[in-house]
Structure 1
Amino acid sequence: MDLIVNPRLTKKDIVVLYSSVGWQKDVENIDNLKKGLKKSFVIAAFEDNKLVGLVRALSDFSTVVFIQDLLVCPEFQGKRIGKTLMLHLLNYFGAVGQVMVAAKPNNDARKFFHYLGFQEGQDRQLSAYVMDRRVH
């Protein structure tokens, strides 16, 4: 597996990865997503030149980093790709005081992020508020 920081991703790469995990809503406006990825900090995982995973973050590089996306193609899940991507990202932002993550509320995500040392918002008396303008 090769990790590339801020790679040049094709629309096809992005659509295939996001669609493979069921995130069709994200690729409905692929040009917008591609622009968002360019303006984010991205670490991508490639296997035989195929995009198999990525983590995307936004940060002020001082006080907070928001992890927006963590995706791994289903056929590559369970091979520590997500863990490797997250550890590289957390290492890169090691001096940042607060790390926030947006994740689907399911047991796999809960276990994974707890394993990495994250706490759920309610455990820290925090709430997350979302306005998703993509919803029709």
Structure 2
Amino acid sequence: MELIVNPRLTKNEITVLYSSVGWQKDVENIDNLKKGLRKSFVIAAYEDQRLIGLVRALSDFSTIVYIQDLLVCPQEQGKRIGKTLMLHLLNYFGAVGQVVVAAKPNNDSRKFFRYLGFQEGSDRQLSAYIMDRRARAN
């Protein structure tokens, strides 16, 4: 596995990876997502020149880093790719005091992030408030 910091991702690579994990809303406006990735700190994992995972963060590089995306192709999950990506990211932002991650609330996510040393917001009397403007009225 090869890790690349801030790679030049193609629309096809992005679409394939995000779609493989069921994040269809993210690729509905692929140009917008690609722009967001370019303006973020990204570490990508490649196997045989194929994008198999990535982690994306936003930060002020002093007080907070917000981890927006952590994706690993389903056929590559269970191979420590997500852990490797996260550890590299956490190492890079080692001097930053607060790390926040958004994750779907399921047992796998809970176990994974707790394993890495994260606590749920409710454990720290914190709440998250989200306005998802991608959501469409039916």
> Please, what TM-score do these two structures have when normalized by structure 2?
0.98
Secondary structure at the counterpart of residue 52 of structure 1 = strand
Equivalent-residue separation in structure 1 for 2:106 and 2:46 (angstroms) = 26
**Letter matched to residue 125 of structure 1:** Q
Q: 1:59 is matched with which residue?
A: 59
Q: 2:16 is matched with which residue?
A: 16
Q: 1:83 is matched with which residue?
A: 83
**Letter matched to residue 112 of structure 2:** F
Aligned-residue sequence identity (percent) comes to: 85
Q: 2:134 is matched with which residue?
A: 134
Moved over 2 A (4+): none
What is the Cα deviation at residue 55 of structure 1?
0.1
Q: Which runs of 5+ in 1 are unaligned?
A: none
Q: Aligned residues, how many?
A: 136
Equivalent-residue separation in structure 2 for 1:54 and 1:106 (angstroms) = 20
> Please, what TM-score do these two structures have when normalized by structure 1?
1.00
RMSD over aligned CA atoms reads: 0.2
Q: Which runs of 5+ in 2 are unaligned?
A: none
Equivalent-residue separation in structure 1 for 2:80 and 2:105 (angstroms) = 20
**Letter matched to residue 16 of structure 1:** V
Equivalent-residue separation in structure 1 for 2:98 and 2:33 (angstroms) = 25
What is the Cα deviation at residue 124 of structure 1?
0.4
